[in-house]
Every structure is written in C-alpha cells, then in structure tokens.
Amino acid sequence: MWIEPCEDTECFMRGLIRRNPGESEFHQAVREFVETVMPFVKANPKYRESQILERMTEPDRIIIFRVPWEDDNRNVRVNRAWRVQFNNSIGPYKGGLRFHPTVTQSVLKFLGFEQVFKNSLTGLPMGGAKGGANFNPKGKSDREIMRFCQSMMIELHRHVGEDTDVPAGDIGVGGREISYLFGQYKRLENRFVGVLTGKGLQFGGSLIRTEATGYGNVYFCENMLNHAGDSLNGKTVTVSGSGNVATYCVEKATLLGANVVTMSDSSGFIHDPNGIDAEKLAFVKDLKEVRRGRIHEYTEKFSGATFHQGTRPWNVPCEVAFPCATQNELSADEARTLISNGVKAISEGANMPTELAGVHEFLQAGVLFGPAKAANAGGVAVSGLEQSQNAQRLSWSREEVDQKLHSIMKDIHEKCVQYGQDDGFVNYVRGANIAGFLKIADAMLAYGNV
Ligand code: NDP
C-alpha cells in the first residue's frame, strides 16, 4: 500500500512528536523548518514521493555514553554524554560540543538538525552533528575540566576522525577544553590529524576561528542592512551573552560604527549607554575568559553602566539586536517590545534564540530577521577552513581567512535572498531553510533510499 506523505505542517508534526516524545526543543527546530519547506516539497513531487522530510528529521545515529571522572576531593562523579551524528550526505559530520547542565538529547538533536542545513549553506563539504554532556563546568578547577575531557575522549575517540566526524566548541567548550580533548585523542590514536577544530594556533588551529561566529554574524547583518539600503554605522545595538559569540559580535559591530549598549550572562545584563568600546570589551574578555567572573562586575569598573539582575536586554531601545547567549532567550512579548521600540534588524548569533512565536512577530512586522542557521554559520565555515588547512598542513594568514569568511557570509546572504524574496521583502527564514535543504535533499536522492 502506498503511504501518502504528509502535505501539511500539522500532520507532519503529529508524526514527529509521536516518534520523539518529550523533545520540545527538537520539535521547535523542526517545526520552524517544515513550516517554510513543506510548500516547496509539496510543489516538487521528487522530494515529496521520496519521504525526504521524514528521512531528514531522523538522525543517522545517536551515541550515548557514561563519563566517569574524579573531582579534586577524590569523589567519583558521573555525567552523560552524547554525539548526535545527524546527516553526512555532503561531507563528514561536523558540529560543536556543549558542556552545560541543561544539555539533553532533545537539545542536541535540535542543534544537530540545525547544523545540517547551516553547514550546507556554507557551501563547504560538511555534514551535520552535535554533541556534549550534562556537565557543568562552572566552578570546576582546570584539573577537573582536564579529567572530564580526557574521560569523555576515551569513549568519543572511537566515533570521530578527520574523515568521519569533526567536533568543535560550543557553550562551555572553548580553547581550553578543545586542547584537553585534542591532547587525549592524539595519545589514544597516535595520530596528529584535524579531528577537532578551534584548536590552539600552535597545534593546527586557524586564525580567525575564535572570532568567526561573532564576526560572521555582524557581516551577515551588514549584508541584510545594505540590501535594504542601510548599514550598521551609527546604530544603537543590543547584544545578549558575554561568551565567545557575543564578544566578537560586539567587537566587529563597534568596528563598523555601531554603539553597542548591552551584554549579559545567565545572572542578568549590563546597560552602558556610552557604548562598550574596545577598552571595555577587553575588560569583559579578561573577566569571562581568564577570571571566569560575572558580568555585573562591569558596573564596578565603568561608571554610567547599570546591572539588571535576572532580566534580559530586550527592553532596551535599539535599532539592531544580536541574541548571542542561548536558545529561547527572546520571547514573543520581548519581540513585540523590540518592534515597538523601532528595531530594524535581528541577527541570531546563538542557535534558536528566538521563540517561534517571536520569529512570526518579526516577520509580520517586516523586521529584517537573520535566522541562526544563516547568520551564525561563520563559525563552522572557518572550522571548515581549519580542516582544509590541516589537510594541507598549511596555515593561512589572518587576512586570507577573514576575506574567505566575508565572502562565505555574502554568498549565504545571496542564497537567502534567492529563495526568500517576496514582493520586495526578504523572508530570510524561508530563504535559509530552502537553500540549505536543496543540497542535502539532492544528495540524499542521488544515494537512493538511504
Ligand atoms: P559561551 O559558553 O562562550 O558563552 C555563552 C554565553 O551565554 C555566556 O555569557 C553564558 O552566561 C550565556 N548563557 C548560557 N546559557 C545561558 C542561559 N541558559 N541563560 C542565559 N544566558 C546563558 O558560548 P558561545 O558563545 O560559544 O555560544 C553561544 C551561542 O552561540 C550558543 O547558542 C551556541 O550554540 C551558538 N553558537 C556558537 C558557535 C561558536 O563558534 N562558539 C557557533 C555557532 C553558534 P554564563 O557565563 O552565565 O553561563
């Protein structure tokens, strides 16, 4: 009997929710994708008849394992880790590792799913994956972090490799953690290969990788504004987060003439109407990366700035907003506040920071809305460039990598315009989803029923 594929989002989502119960973040990411891609699939029988959406929303495999480690007081501790290898149709799996107590299978499936289309948009040969552990790095000593990373790699090394799966950083996984993970991989395998990206410059890392997600997000936003006859120069900008993505987003936006007035962490946000210039940002970098302190300490150092505990920066009037902390950090109510305060553009540095109802608000209001899978693809793009440099045993200059990042973000913007243009307004969500989908779908069709 011929099984009729679902032809509307609600029918499709009912099946997906039944097959993946309780995974709300995964449901949300798929719904955002299917809402825009379903009409395209419906209009193209070759995709519809091959059940392509059903196949694409099922990961290739999920590896789940125990990570036992010992804390500094010699207590035995245990965490759970995952690697979600979502889709390798167009290249080896690629995607970050997240260490955070909120990590669940649902979170990693949503991130892995998004990663598939994001990597496709970069134009580089990378499949999509994501991994991590429900480990909380906050308050842990360097030695504890090292022991955790080494223990995690004892299992993970069997499943990764330069032509199989190449992890990178994400929340809670920065240069320190990647170094511990890479050091352990090298010991276990006795091979020096590009199995992880975001490595130190002394051992195969790429210039600009640290800055790439934040810089790329600003380049994407500047492309959206330029396309609409505007620019970041002179704009008041709000940013959330104070980690890797947020820091370099603030740096590049300021270099392009914007006045960035907020940053945040999980305890609240700081508002500095005078702008977070290079000197102030250097303080934040040292505070968060070296001293591992809290964002409120900014107000003790710089007069005129205020700290707002337990709240997010979206009620501060701005023309451009860059959510760069975590998923679902911008609600529909906050979207309405931003719109009534005259926001012109939102560019997502974090993955899925805007709740779906908030995305709908922005699109209905005609705000330029850069979805994560397009706007924050610069990080994984430069990771792809790090893989190329490792394979060639070469290191490219800062200028060369930055120039490539620039042109990749421009290309992604053009693809979004190509598939998202509608009566003069560009729906970047639809554009990114369809452009990302096409390459994966065509590869899967070519492989047959896989
Ligand atoms: P970091 O760990 O460097 O920084 C995360 C920042 O977000 C910190 O300021 C942290 O505050 C804040 N944060 C984390 N969780 C929460 C929460 N539940 N509520 C409020 N604030 C929170 O991570 P990254 O900068 O690397 O990643 C940020 C986002 O960007 C994530 O969504 C990630 O998936 C995405 N991303 C990252 C890429 C990369 O190259 N690093 C690439 C593409 C996307 P605190 O210090 O208090 O925890």
DSSP string for 109-152: HHHHHHHHHHHHHTTSS--EEEEEES---TT--HHHHHHHHHHH
* Distance between Cα 430 and ligand 1 center (Å): 25
Given ligand 1 and candidates 170, 206, 239, which is best to mutate, with the most ligand atoms within 8 Å of its CB? 170
Distance of alpha carbon 59 from alpha carbon 127, whole angstroms: 12
User: Ligand 1 centroid to 285 CA: how many Å?
Assistant: 14
Q: Is the CB of 349 under 6 A from ligand 1?
A: yes
In the chain, which residues have pLDDT < 70?
Answer: 1-3
244 lines ligand 1 (CB under 6 A): yes
User: Annotated catalytic sites, by residue?
Assistant: 130
| Nearest residue to 130 (alpha-carbon basis) of 152, 148, 106 | 106
- Output the six-digit token pair for 24: 């709300």
| pLDDT confidence of residue 450 | 85
Q: Is 242 in the pocket of ligand 1 (CB under 6 A)?
A: yes
Please tell me if the CB atom of residue 378 comes closer than 6 angstroms to any atom of ligand 1. Answer: no
Q: Is 346 in the pocket of ligand 1 (CB under 6 A)?
A: no
pLDDT at 2: 66
Strand order in the sheet with 368-370: 306-309, 268-271, 259-265, 236-240, 320-323, 345-347, 368-370
The rounded Å distance from CA 96 to ligand 1 centre is: 12
CA–CA dist 245, 116 (Å, integer) = 20
CA 6 to CA 14: how far, in whole Å? 10
CB 243 near ligand 1, within 6 Å: yes
**Cα 19 to averaged position of ligand 1 atoms, centre (Å):** 29
Q: What is the pLDDT of residue 349?
A: 98
How far apart CA 14 and CA 28 sit, in angstroms, is 12
Rg (CA), the chain: 21
Would you say the CB of residue 245 lies under 6 angstroms from ligand 1? yes
Query: Domains (ranges, CATH) in the chain?
Result: 1-58+430-450 (1.10.285.10), 61-193 (3.40.50.10860), 212-375 (3.40.50.720)
Q: Is 204 in the pocket of ligand 1 (CB under 6 A)?
A: no
Residue nearest to atom 42 of ligand 1 (CA): 379
CB 61 within 8 A of CB 127: no
User: Ligand 1 centroid to 63 CA: how many Å?
Assistant: 24
Using the mean position of ligand 1's atoms as its centre, give its distance from the Cα of residue 229 in Å: 31
The terminus-to-terminus CA distance of the chain in angstroms comes to: 20
Which residue has a Cα nearest atom 33 of ligand 1? 350
Going by CA atoms, what residue is nearest to atom 19 of ligand 1? Answer: 266
Report the atom number in ligand 1 closest to the C-alpha of 325. Answer: 7
- Tens digit of each residue's pLDDT (9 = 90 or more) over 328-342: 999 999 999 999 999
